[in-house]
Amino acid sequence: MLNFLKSNLQKRKGAVYVRFLVKDNCLVPQIERDHSLPISQIQTIPQPALNPDFSYNPNLQKLLTGKQLLLDDLPFPIEEIQNHYENGYITYRKGIEYKRNRPICSRCGNKAENWFARFPCSRCGEICYYCRKCLMMGRISACTPLIGWNGTAPEHQLPETILGWKGQLSPGQQTASKRVVEAVQNMTELLVWAVCGAGKTEVLFAGIESALASKKRVCVATPRTDVVLELTPRLKAAFPEINVASLYGGSEERHLYAPLTIATTHQLLRFYHAFDTIILDEVDAFPYTIEDSLQFAAVQARKPDSAMIYLTATPNEKWQRECRIGKRDFTTIPARFHRYPLPVPHFKWCGNWQKQLKKDKLPVNILTWVKDRLDHKKQALLFFPHIHLMEKALPILRRLSPKIEAVHAEDPNRKNKVQKMRNKEIPLLLTTTILERGVTFPNIDVAVVGAEDDIFTESALVQIAGRAGRSRDFPDGAVTFFHYGKTEDMLKARKQINTMNQEGVRKGLIDV
Ligand SMILES: [Zn+2]
Ligand SMILES: [Zn+2]
């Protein structure tokens, strides 16, 4: 059969087989259309039994363990892949499944009809469906086999010392750390609800160590590339002798097999039943919250028996309710490591500020707030709900100081401006919600202009307030919400901060 394949492939140079027939309880790739079908039309995909005498290719094993890849992702000849399949080491799954004649993408779970497109497919020679939702990871169509590994996982030697970190956990961190270790060992789910600045990364170390020590595979996933880039060196330093794969769009370690993986949630789309422990950081952050495919990917990347740890400073309303009624297992770190309370936001009414902006003006109390910061040389972040409003406000504020800058998501100088802010070269930085999380400046005040806007959800406002007072040397900072009418979200955000502070005091984690 392999010879048949080779000769056919020579005939159609560059072509990849994409039609199959089932023969002797085995899927056989075909080039000819006669009697063959695209994989999605084959009822049940047979899985040959594992042949223990077969000598498999360890590079294929490393590449495929815990993955679901396309033929295009595999730099191996088709004959070799098929040979591994026939000996039970490789699995083929349908890229698209049909349920009641409706397509479902096996990789990203998409089942919305408008996210599928049809095209005349040169690979199967039919009009073929493909998924538009996960297109950026390579096209999945109705004739695409998703390829996985069915053999054992690669062996790796454990170093004598797994965890090299020698720091001390705060009492609040310790409690959470113990719970994480338990969840890892018992393979359960746990939400770690840690206030901004609690030091949540260190809370994971013992759990990761315990997983690695029992040869478990661990993934720390997060919606944002920035966070992957920030976590990678920290985890590499904490686990100096463990191989760490850092995966994000454009990273070079895409095919590295490692016991510890740090990845964007997008990258999880390439994994299938891979991890014994997944730690999902910033579960409430965009785009994870609104992209069903990313949530699907996180579930699919877990082994059926595995631990799932969710980390956030701001769980959404549904999760908060589930915590309250005991439906969701959780632990809190209600206080920052420096034992000072979280700054509580002040609400200040500023009238119809957008109308003023149209006349090239800003409300007096906002101008006074800015001027105060400039006079006292206290750095500050000023949040705006939309770019065009921010850009309208910039020249007005620059009359107070020409060094004031503004930053937003698509700003090509974003990194540069953040760095200048760190270097204290910028006295005041205007920003959209892009800086609501992730960035830490040691000594700043924070204000929101137009806190009534829909974009400022409870969690966005808690995160924004969480930018202030992060460092031990400057544990407080003013947080002001300028508004044209208080919203539910503003009230809930303030309440959440107060509740955490009270809990911190009650548990002896805040000095009063
Ligand atoms: Zn096709
Ligand atoms: Zn898809």
Cβ-defined contacts of 391-399 (< 8 Å, 24+): 392/357, 392/360, 393/357, 393/362, 393/430, 393/449, 394/430, 395/360, 396/357, 396/360, 396/361, 396/362, 397/362, 397/367, 397/370, 397/428, 397/430
Would you say the CATH fold of 346-506 matches that of 171-333?
yes
CA of 138 to the centre of ligand 2 (A): 9
CA of 125 to the centre of ligand 1 (A): 6
Ligand nearest to the CA of 129: 1
Q: Which residues surround ligand 2, an ion (CB under 5 A)?
A: 105, 107-108, 110, 131, 133-134
Instruction: Please name every residue paired with 102 in a beta bridge, in sequence order, or none if there are none.
Output: 99
Q: Give domain 171-333's CATH architecture.
A: 3-Layer(aba) Sandwich (3.40)
CA of 140 to the centre of ligand 1 (A): 9
Q: What CA–CA distance (Å, rounded) separates 85 from 79?
A: 10
* pLDDT in single tens digits along all 512 residues of the chain: 444 444 444 444 445 568 899 988 899 988 878 888 999 989 899 999 999 999 999 999 999 999 999 998 899 998 999 999 999 999 999 999 998 889 999 999 999 999 999 999 988 888 999 999 999 999 999 999 999 999 999 988 899 999 999 999 999 999 999 999 999 999 999 999 999 989 899 999 999 999 999 999 999 999 888 889 889 999 999 999 999 999 998 888 877 899 999 999 999 999 999 999 999 998 887 777 778 888 999 999 999 999 999 999 999 889 999 999 999 999 999 999 999 999 999 999 999 999 999 999 999 999 999 999 999 999 999 999 999 999 999 999 999 999 999 999 889 998 899 999 999 999 999 999 988 887 789 899 999 999 999 999 999 999 999 999 998 899 989 999 999 999 999 999 999 999 999 999 999 999 87
Q: What CA–CA distance (Å, rounded) separates 414 from 284?
A: 23
Phi and psi at residue 454, to the nearest 5°: -55, -30
CA of 120 to the centre of ligand 1 (A): 8
Ligand nearest to the CA of 138: 2
Domain 346-506 fold: Rossmann fold (3.40.50)
Q: What pLDDT, on the 0 to 100 scale, is given for residue 409?
A: 87
Q: What pLDDT, on the 0 to 100 scale, is given for residue 17?
A: 63
What are the structural domain ranges in the chain? 2-149, 171-333, 346-506
Among residues 193, 223, 407, 399, which one has the least CA distance to residue 313? 193
CA of 26 to the centre of ligand 2 (A): 26
If DSSP states are collapsed to H, E and C, what string results for 53-73?
A: CCCCCHHHHHHHCCECECHHH
Instruction: Please name every residue paired with 38 in a beta bridge, in sequence order, or none if there are none.
Output: 19
Q: What pLDDT, on the 0 to 100 scale, is given for residue 9?
A: 43
Q: What CA–CA distance (Å, rounded) separates 437 from 227?
A: 10
Q: What pLDDT, on the 0 to 100 scale, is given for residue 232?
A: 94
CA of 209 to the centre of ligand 1 (A): 45
Q: What pLDDT, on the 0 to 100 scale, is given for residue 15?
A: 53
CA of 363 to the centre of ligand 2 (A): 48
CA of 52 to the centre of ligand 2 (A): 34
How much of the chain is in helix, strand and coil states, percent to nearest 5?
35, 20, 45
CA of 253 to the centre of ligand 1 (A): 29
